[in-house]
Structure 1
Amino acid sequence: MKVRKQKEIIESAIKLFAENGFTNTSIQEIVNDCGISKGAFYNYFTSKEALHIAIFEYYFEQMRTRTHEIDAEQLPPREKLAKLLSVPFEQLTKQKDFFMVYMREQSFTINKELREVMGKTQFEMLTWYEKNLKEVYGDKINGYTGDIIMLIEGIRSNYLASILIQDSQIDATLVPTFIMNRIEDMVASFEKGEEPIMKNNLLDLFTNNSCESLNHIEKASALLADMQEQLEIMNFSDDQRNGLAGVIAFLISELQKPSIEKYVFQGMLANLKTVKEFDIYREKIANLLGIELL
């Protein structure tokens, strides 16, 4: 019952925030819209700011769930990447109000906790891009994944904005294939010798310079949590899955300690190298914590 009512409040709030903006929407207007008292509101959320954060967590989790559903389909890498690129456009048809608020919030100062939620999601997204691009193209794109991701994000965000804000009559189902074709063009160009513009890996640049409120422990924890979710859909026996899950759970528990035993962490991290899909996660975690991979 409580979860259902929280969802109703979130959906009322997102509609009003999209229409009037966060600042111009009062708690009273939200409770009026969803048919509860102002006192009852505080049984679910401590403040309007807490509700704001819950909205982003709620919708980001829906996007995350959809990407994991596609992962579970075990599609060929290129087909999977194209299908995953379609997710924001699928969600836009269902969650237009949220996308309006999301695009607005990217341009204005927001509270620290919301920045952390958005920063964590961006970090997950960059890791996801790099992982799936490597599955399609292998090591030949080393050195210019940053440029490819910039291309993907530029096309994706501008088409989303055009559909959302300008109400452009665009067939969104064509966009993922269009992006995949542009990626192919870029890969071919780099193979012919074109120099990349991004001299640093985009994910490493984000790790080192962006979203300072997310420390290295939090980022490593986010990567391990994503590995846990990936493990659920991988084709392993129960014994293999349980063994790998135990390793990941151990690593997560180590990150919660006041100080990390780096040699212990290094040894346990090596137990995951049998899973090729985890290579990028292992590399990023090792870089974050200053650990050499075994």
Structure 2
Amino acid sequence: MKARKQKEIIESAIRLFAENGFTNTSIQEIVNDCGISKGAFYNYFPSKEALHIAIFKYYFEEMKTRTHEIEVQQLPPRDKLTSLLSVPFEQLTKQKDFFTVYMREQSFSINKELRQVMEKTQYEMLVWYKTILEEVYGKKITEYTGDIIMLIEGIRSSYLVAILIQDLQIDAKLVPTFIVNRIDDMVASFDKGEEPIMKRNLLNIFSNNSFDSLSNCEKASSLLADMLEQLEILDYSDEQKEGLKGVIVFLISELKKQTIEKYTLQGMLANLKTVKEFDNYRKKIANLLELQLL
């Protein structure tokens, strides 16, 4: 039951995000679309940011499931590569709203944790590319795998944008075979001695990224952002809420500084101890920042 309702919320949110953008879509609009209360929303997601991340995780899992279905078919390597390259175009017809949001977030993400989810997925994609390309063309292509991947992603992304954003009438079924033919051309060119452009292994570049973890200050800031969302539904006067909001916003601003003043943070956290709903948040933040709660 909970999983079904989470899926309903995700699907409502993705429609609204695609239409209005993440920033311009409120939790109230999402719950109105779902037919639930704002209080009920927080039973499923602690914040709008958490919902945003859940959307990407949900759709990335959908893509991985489809990819796995192709991989277990025991197709010849070249046919498997062509079929796997077709997955985004298949999904585009089913999940147009998601792809609209995805294209927007590829170049800009307001949430570092979301950016890390996307980078981790991209790393997994690079590992898959390396594996399937070596199945098709052999180990000889290892030194120029990066250039081949850049070619694949450039062509694939351009056609996705043409179909999705520019609304061009393109037969997407032709694109995967076209890409594989261009890979053939590229491999033949390198075999004749053309120099690769990518001098570093893309996998090494991405494996050095810090997408597996946030700093403790960033985790604390994320918890504070969740507290701001929770504050909306707490039973306090507008004046009290404004005072509490001021404390939380101040704490977030302090955590952005290069050097944090622990005594200042400790004192400001103490101003939130009258709100029992914030007890767990305060404990987690204090633990992350190595503070003693007052």
1:10-40 CA distance string (max 9 Å, x none)? 0000000000000000001001111111111
CA contact (8 A) 2:82 2:176 kept: yes
Q: Which residue matches 1:127?
A: 127
Q: Which residue matches 1:83?
A: 83
Q: CA deviation at 1:204?
A: 1.6
Residue range with higher mean Cα deviation, 176-185 or 31-40: 31-40
Q: CA deviation at 1:212?
A: 2.4
CA contact (8 A) 2:77 2:136 kept: yes
Q: Which residue matches 1:8?
A: 8
Q: CA deviation at 1:97?
A: 0.3
Q: Which residue matches 2:170?
A: 170
CA contact (8 A) 2:117 2:211 kept: no
Paired residue secondary structure (1:124): helix
Q: Which residue matches 1:186?
A: 186
1:63-99 CA distance string (max 9 Å, x none)? 0001011001010000000000000000000000000
Q: CA deviation at 1:108?
A: 1.7
Q: CA deviation at 1:199?
A: 1.0
Task: Determine whether 1:69 maps to 2:69.
Answer: yes
Q: Which residue matches 1:198?
A: 198
CA contact (8 A) 1:119 1:214 kept: no
Give distance in 2, aligned partners of 1:132 and 1:165: 30
Q: Which residue matches 1:94?
A: 94
1:43 maps to a residue whose letter is: N
Give distance in 2, aligned partners of 1:214 and 1:51: 19
Q: Which residue matches 2:105?
A: 105
Q: Give the unaligned 5+ runs of structure 1.
A: 216-294
Q: Which residue matches 2:157?
A: 157
2:92 maps to a residue whose letter is: L
Q: CA deviation at 1:213?
A: 3.2
2:74 maps to a residue whose letter is: Q
Q: Which residue matches 1:20?
A: 20
TM-score by length of 2: 0.71
Q: CA deviation at 1:139?
A: 1.2
Paired residue secondary structure (2:138): helix
Q: Which has the larger radius of gyration?
A: 2
Q: Which residue matches 1:212?
A: 210
Give distance in 2, aligned partners of 1:67 and 1:128: 10
Give distance in 2, aligned partners of 1:107 and 1:141: 29
Residue range with higher mean Cα deviation, 85-94 or 111-120: 111-120
Give distance in 2, aligned partners of 1:176 and 1:144: 20
Q: Which residue matches 1:117?
A: 117
Give distance in 1, aligned partners of 2:168 and 2:39: 42
2:54 maps to a residue whose letter is: A
Give distance in 1, aligned partners of 2:37 and 2:191: 62
CA contact (8 A) 2:120 2:211 kept: no
Paired residue secondary structure (1:43): helix
1:263-287 CA distance string (max 9 Å, x none)? xxxxxxxxxxxxxxxxxxxxxxxxx
TM-score by length of 1: 0.71
